[in-house]
Amino acid sequence: MKPQGLFLGYVAAALLGLGAGAASAKTIEAVASFTVLADVVSQVGGDHVHVISLVPPNGDPHEFEPSPDDAKNLKAADLTFLSGEGLEGWFERLVKASGSEKKPVIVSTGIKTRTMEDDGKTITDPHVWNSAANVIVWVANIEKALAAADPEDAADFKANAARYTTDLRELNAYAHTKIDAVPRARRKILTSHDAFGYFGREYGVTFLSPLGISTETEASAADVAKLIEQIKKEQVKVYFFENSNDPRLVEQVAKATGAQAGGELYVEALSKADGPAPTYAKMFRYNVDQLTAAMSK
Ligand SMILES: [Zn+2]
C-alpha cells in the first residue's frame, strides 16, 4: 500500500502544480462599479487583471440603469469591486438580474468615513476617493482581494500596490502644498452636489452645493433659497460644473449670487481617454489645479 500511496501523492502534486501554472497564466476578469475604481483596480492588477467598469466614463454612479450586458459581465467576473458606503444603490438589482452569487469586494472598508445630514437623516458620505489619502486604503483592500484570487501573482500585486501607493502619497502632498498656499478665507467653492466632503476635510476647503450627498435626491425651493443666502453671506465667489451631472441648478444658484464659473470638476467619473481625467491620478491633480487656480483669482 505504501508505494502506491506515495505514487498517488506524486500524481496529486503534479496535478496541483499544473493547476497553479494554469492559474498564473490566466487573467482575472474583474468588474468595478465605476470608472474611478476600475482605474485603481487596474493599477494594482497590472497585466494579470482585465477590468470592466459598469458605469461608463462621465456617468453618474448614484443613478445607473444597468443593461443586460452588465448583468452578463457581472455573472462572468471572477471578482467584483464596489466602493460601498451607499454609493451603488443600483447594485442589488443588478445582482438579482445577473444570478451572480459571488460576494463583491467593498474597497472602502477601513476608511474613516464622515456623515452628513440629508433630508433630516444622518447618512454616510460615499465620496471617499476625493481624498487621495483614502485611496491608499482602497489599494490595500484591492491588493488583498487580488492576491487571494490569484496567489501565484501576489508578488506582482504587492509591487504594483507599493508603487501606486507612493504615487498617491505624492498626490496627497501635492494637494496639501497647493491648497495651503491659498488664504483660508478664499477656500470656498460652490458645486452641483456634495461630492467633496472628504476633499474638504483633508485639504481644508469649504464646499457648498444645492444637491445633497446623492444626485438621486432633489433640492427643494427652500433649500435653494437657503443656499443662496449662505453663499452671499460667506462671499463664495466661484462655482464649478461637474462632468457627470446636470449643471442647471448650480447655474441658477450662481446667477442669483453673482458667483463666477470656475470650470468643470471630475467628481465621480473619469473622462474618456482623450479627456483631461482619464485616470484617477490625472483626475485628482486636474481638480486640485482647477480649484486652486479659481480660489487664487
Ligand atoms: Zn456623488
Q: Whole-angstrom Cα distance, residue 96 to residue 118?
A: 28
How far, in Å, from the CA of 186 to the mean position of ligand 1? 24
Protein residues near ligand 1, an ion, with CB under 5 A: 195, 268
How far, in Å, from the CA of 257 to the mean position of ligand 1? 23
How far, in Å, from the CA of 182 to the mean position of ligand 1? 26
How far, in Å, from the CA of 127 to the mean position of ligand 1? 6
How far, in Å, from the CA of 87 to the mean position of ligand 1? 8
Q: Is the dihedral of CA 246, 249, 250, 252 positive or negative?
A: positive
How far, in Å, from the CA of 62 to the mean position of ligand 1? 6
Cell of 144: 488583498
pLDDT level of residue 45 (50, 70, 90 thresholds): very high
256 Cβ contact partners less than 8 Å away, ≥ 6 residues apart: 228
How far, in Å, from the CA of 261 to the mean position of ligand 1? 20
* Of residues 106 and 258, more confidently modeled: 106
- Cα angle 285, 291, 293 (rounded to 5 degrees) comes to 100
Q: State which of 24-33, 132-141, 237-246 shows the largest mean pLDDT.
A: 132-141
How far, in Å, from the CA of 225 to the mean position of ligand 1? 22
How far, in Å, from the CA of 220 to the mean position of ligand 1? 18
Is the pLDDT at 55 greater than 70? The verdict is yes
How far, in Å, from the CA of 267 to the mean position of ligand 1? 7
Is the pLDDT at 268 greater than 70? The verdict is yes
pLDDT, tens digit, for every residue of 108-124? 999 999 998 777 789 99
Among 134, 137, 158, 135, smallest CA distance to 146 is for 158
Q: What is the mean pLDDT of the chain?
A: 89
Q: Whole-angstrom Cα distance, residue 232 to residue 257?
A: 6
- Secondary structure of residue 52 in the 3-state scheme: strand
How far, in Å, from the CA of 42 to the mean position of ligand 1? 22
How far, in Å, from the CA of 204 to the mean position of ligand 1? 19
Mean pLDDT confidence for 227-235:
88
